Amino acid sequence: MKPKLNLIYKKLYSYFGPQHWWPGDSPFEVMVGAILTQNTSWLNVEKAINNLKKHKVLTADKLYKLSSKRLALLIRPAGYYNIKAERLKIFLRFFLKYYQGLEGMLNSDTLALRNQLLGVKGIGPETADSILLYALNKPVFVVDAYTRRILSRHRFIPEGADYHQTQNLFMQNLKKSVKLFNEYHALLVKLGKEFCLKNKPRCEICPLR
C-alpha cells in the first residue's frame, strides 16, 4: 500500500505542481477559514474573510465581541451565515477560554487537542484536522469527499468507507510529515475538482489513469 500511495502522490505532484495550501495570512485566519468553508466554495470564504479584514475585526477578541447579527452579516458570502456565525462564536469561546492565543495550541498534544476540537459544537473531523494541519502544523491527514471518492474508485477503500478508515490509510502508510500531508490533500482536491468528478469522471485523461 505504501508504494502505491507514494506513486499517486508523485504522479499528482508531477502533473499539478505545488498547490500552496492553505491560503491565509495567519494561523488564526486559517482556523476561521476552516469553519467558514463548510458546505461552500473557497471563493465565497475569501469574500467573507475579506469583509472581516476590511472592517478590521479578524482577531479572536474582536470577532467574539461582535453581535451574532453583525458577524453573520459580515460572513454572509460564505453561506449558511447564521449557522456559521453561531459556530464561530462557540469556537471563539473555546479558543479564548482555554488557550488565549495560538502558543498554547501549538504546544498541545495533537490527539488531546483534536479531541477537544471535536467536542466543540459545529466542528467535525474534517474541520478539526484542517485546523490541526493547516493552522497548527500538526501531522494529521485531512480527509474530504474528494479523497474518499478517488480512493474508492481506485479500490483502495470500500465504497462508503468512513472518515477514520480513510484517514488511517494515509496515517499508517506515509511518513508523518506536515509538508507531505498538506500537499497530498491539496493535490487530491485538485484531482477531484478537475478529473474525478462526481457524476462525469474524466477517467480517460486522468493523471492517475
Q: What pLDDT sits at residue 70?
A: 98
C-alpha torsion sign, points 88, 93, 99, 105? negative
Of 154, 152, 155, 144, residue with least CA distance to 184: 144
Q: What average pLDDT does range 7-34 have in this prediction?
A: 95
Percentage of the residues of the chain whose pLDDT score is greater than 90:
95
Could you tell me the CA-to-CA distances from 58 to 110, 135, 207 in Å, in that order? 25, 15, 39
Q: What pLDDT sits at residue 160?
A: 87
Flag whether pLDDT at 69 surpasses 80: yes
Q: How confident is the model at residue 100 (pLDDT cuts 50, 70, 90)?
A: confident
Q: Are residues 133 and 142 in contact, defined by beta-carbon separation less than 8 angstroms? A: yes
At residue 111's C-alpha, the angle toward residues 21 and 163, to 5°, is 65
Q: Are residues 140 and 181 in contact, defined by beta-carbon separation less than 8 angstroms? A: yes
Flag whether pLDDT at 102 surpasses 90: no
The 3 state secondary structure assigned to 166-178 is HHHHHHHHCCCCH
Q: What pLDDT sits at residue 195?
A: 98
| Distance separating the N- and C-terminal Cα atoms of the chain | 18
Q: What pLDDT sits at residue 57?
A: 98
Q: What pLDDT sits at residue 83?
A: 97
Q: What pLDDT sits at residue 109?
A: 96
For all residues of the chain together, what is the average pLDDT? 96
Q: What pLDDT sits at residue 42?
A: 92
| pLDDT tens figures, 146-170 | 999 999 999 999 988 999 999 999 9
What would the DSSP string read from start to end of 130-174?
HIIIIIT--------HHHHHHHHHTTSS-TT--HHHHHHHHHHHS
Q: What pLDDT sits at residue 23?
A: 85
Q: How confident is the model at residue 101 (pLDDT cuts 50, 70, 90)?
A: confident
Q: What pLDDT sits at residue 116?
A: 97
Dist CA 129 CA 146 (whole Å): 15
